[in-house]
Structure 1
Amino acid sequence: MRTRPAFRAFTALGFLLTLVAQALAMPSTARAHGDTVKVVVTGQRDGHVTTEITWENDGDAVEETVAATVNATSVDRTRSMGPWRLVRVPGTRAGWMTAEVLAPGNWKVTVDVGFPALGHGEAEIAVPVVDPVPPSAPTPTASAPLPSAPAPSSAAPSSAATGPADPSSPSPSSSPGVTSGGGRTGWWTTAGLVGIALVGAAVGLWLRRARAGRR
């Protein structure tokens, strides 16, 4: 019966030592950097709330995942947005931002960090109204050049300059009986012989009638 209280005391002592070891192991990061983080609301980027979170004591960047809530209230207190979480900004040392987007207007933003340490930050930011980009006009395509009219020839035909030929004056080539070379001489020879024969026949006929009248 006496062993039971001793066993219970030993078990309670072991459980207490385990809790102390866990408590000493968990805040090792906090002991190295401090127990608070510094939260600076730097503004907005395309409506996303941007912040920088570092350790309060040494200014080192927080390498752990930050568990935080972001709330925004319009300056006139007619609108509120959130709570939202923070995601790390790629390529930055201590940048964090919201995945959600604030509507255009003036906002009071508060950020509360709960892990890996406590932190708080707030600021007023303005989200401008972004005009929609108008659709771009189609680029006119270069049309093919129209064919140019041919320039009038400087060497005009001689017939156009002097007017049409007189139809009453026959051309040398259209005269009857005109041939080239020896054909022209043969034509005139034949015509002369026929004329002489006709003249001779007429003279003979006249002489015969004269003689007959004398008788």
Structure 2
Amino acid sequence: MRIRIALSAAVTALGLLFLLPSVAHAHGDTLKVVVTGQRAGHVTTEITWENDGDAVDEAVSATVNAVSVDGTRTLGPWVLVRDPAAAPAGWTTAEVLPPGSWKVSVDVGFPALGHGELEVGVPVVDPAPGTAGGTGTTGAPAPVASAPAPAPTTATSGAQSGSAQSAVPPSSPAPAPTASSAAEGDAVWWTTAGVAVTALAGAGVGLLLRRRRLRRRLG
């Protein structure tokens, strides 16, 4: 009886030894790695078992490398971390790709082998309007209450009236007499004086002639 029990236990143990590898390899021995793109510059991937398409429950050991399309810049290697926005098969990078076109490759070494690659374009994102230096929350500035304008004082009103009066152009003075007008005035004066002298001389001559005629008549 004891021999039979021992034999049955040995057979059961041997069966478990043969079953464990089959259970361990139920998902297969390769991983399907799909690079889905980028989100805000972070590389996004989906990793599943290639045999049944189940998500990987274990920690994944993978490296991410990126090369610019023109081959002048390289980034990486980076590691993959769980992507809470695309669970349970989603993985992403903590690092950010700069704007541009990149050839991204992902190589997984644990818990199985897997490889995926994709050309990813990261657009240039302009800062939102109203941000100071690209940081801080946006928002319109609070309105500032304007103070009432002070009432004009007597001095200011006088100054304003004086400035208004000074703004009015003064009346133009009478034009000064020109040389021609002065010459014309002198000519008129001399003409008048000559006429008067001539008249006086004529009157004197007439008196003298009358006196002579009287003397002749009397003599």
| TM-score bucket of the superposed structures, by smaller chain | 0.5 to 0.7
Change (3 A) 1:50 1:57: same
Describe how 1:109-188 pairs up with structure 2 within 5 A. Answer: 109-133=104-128, 134-135=131-132, 136=138, 139-141=141-143, 143=145
| Amino acid in the other structure paired with 2:72 | T
Q: For the aligned residues, what is the CA RMSD? A: 3.0
The one-letter amino acid paired with 1:73 is V
Amino acid at match of 1:124: E
The alpha-carbon distance between structure 1 residues 137 and 60, as it changes in their structure 2 partners (threshold 3 A), is closer
Instruction: State the shift of 1:129 in Å.
Output: 1.2
Q: Which runs of 5 or more structure 1 residues have no equivalent in the other structure?
A: 1-20, 148-215
The code of the aligned residue for 2:141 comes to: T
Matches within 5 A, 1:174-213: none
Tell me how far apart the structure 1 counterparts of residues 108 and 22 of structure 2 sit (CA, whole Å).
16
The structure with the greater share of residues assigned to helix is 2
- What is the deviation of 1:143? 2.4
Question: Match for residue 108 of structure 1?
Answer: 103
Match for 2:82 among 69, 88, 94? 88
| Residues 1:132 and 1:35: Cα distance change in structure 2 (over 3 Å) | same
CA offset digits 1:4-63 (Å, max 9, x no partner):
xxxxxxxxxxxxxxxxx6x9857843x110000100000001111000000001110000
- Identical columns (%): 65
Q: Distance in 2 between matches of 1:24 and 1:113?
A: 27
State the shift of 1:105 in Å. 0.5
1:54 aligns with 2:23: no
Structure 2: 5+ residue stretches without partners: 1-16, 133-137, 150-219
The SS at the match of 1:35 is coil
| Cα distance in 1, alignment partners of residues 140 and 148 from structure 2 | 23
The count of residues paired between Structure 1 and Structure 2 equals 130
Equivalent in the alignment of 1:164: none
Amino acid aligned to 2:142: P
Deviation >2 Å, runs of 4+? 23-29, 132-138, 140-147
Q: Structure 1 length normalisation: TM-score?
A: 0.53
